[in-house]
Amino acid sequence: MHYELKDYIKPKTLEEALKLLHDYKGAAKIIAGGTVIHELSERNLLEGVEYFVDIENLGLNYVRIEKDGLHIGATTTFNQIVNNSLFTKPSYYALYLAAKGVSSYQVRNVATIGGSVCSSISFLDVPNALVALNAKAKLVSLNGERIENVENLFLGMLNPNISEDEILTEIILPLEETKTASYYMKLTERAFDYAIVSVGIKVKLNENGYVENIRTVFGNVQPTPYIENKVYEIAKGKYINEDLIKKIMEEIPSVEPIDSINASAWYKKKVLKVLFRDALKETLEMIS
């Protein structure tokens, strides 16, 4: 770790942090857990950055249930998610698995939920799980605030749809739902590797056990989380049995995957079908 900064600033309030980002526009970069920042510095990807604004002390570390959903502060760490029993509930289980699947305990002690979204890296797990769960994000700047669906925050690799003077302050998940479960599964070469591909899924059945909604997200298939609408199109209103699963497997993915360093598009296409099947079965098991 060696990068020439003019200063590393630790503001105490959100207002102070927003002002710094505004005043140093472009030259200031947010640092939360610093785990991706470290990687960016090692790879010389911090050009033009002269100041780090550390957002650890802004009071953004919380998990609370409110009327409109489950609010998770941006600097909540992966281990805080894993150790909070709220996230082992079926409605949120995909997020629990994504956070727990980050291989090193030490990384999970510092890596934050906000940092994972704002990195905009296709093979990270937590952002894909959040998209599967229909998460929203709150972004604040001196000009005001906006609430966005998490899937709208990615423009491409390392290119989040977040302006330099904005802070993502929290993630908002829908309230717990009945007859609902979610799951996250990734394929890696070895346990501590990043995902070759991943599947995030959330299923809601109606009282009679027919599909009311399914949301499926594929990770590392496109440069940004890919929402696979085909699954819902085929399964809508139906009862999920082996035949239906086979039918879905024939139709997915509905997009040509990108090649990546650890796997070809051809391989990803084949393996995604199986990963999807297994994730769907796990999800359904949690509902029944």
Site for ligand FAD, rule CB under 6 A: 29-37, 55, 74, 101-104, 107, 111-112, 114-116, 118-119, 124-126, 162, 167-168, 194
Q: Is 164 in the site for other proteins (CB under 8 A)?
A: no
Q: How far apart are CA 136 and CA 223, in angstroms?
A: 20
Distances (CA, A) of 212 to 70, 253, 288: 22, 21, 15
- Give the residue among 130, 132, 99 at the shortest CA–CA distance from 117: 130
Cβ–Cβ under 8 Å, residues 155 and 224: yes
What does the buried/exposed string (b/e) look like for 181-220 if buried means 16 or more CB atoms within 10 Å of the residue's CB?
bbbbbbbbeeeeebbbbbbbbbbbbeeeeebbebbbbbbb
Torsion angle of the four alpha carbons 204, 154, 122, 281, in this order, in degrees rounded to the nearest 10: 0
Minimum gap (Å) between residue 49 Cβ and ligand FAD: 9
Q: Is 6 in the site for other proteins (CB under 8 A)?
A: yes
**Count, residues near other proteins per rule CB under 8 A:** 28
User: What is the pattern of x (binds other proteins, CB under 8 A) and - over residues 252-281?
Assistant: ------------------------------
User: What is the pattern of x (binds other proteins, CB under 8 A) and - over residues 105-124?
Assistant: xxx-xx--------------
Q: Is 38 in the site for other proteins (CB under 8 A)?
A: yes
Q: Which is nearer to other proteins, 54 or 177 (CB)?
A: 54
Q: Which residues bind other proteins (CB under 8 A)?
A: 1-8, 10, 31, 34-35, 38-39, 41-42, 52, 54, 56, 79, 103-107, 109-110, 192
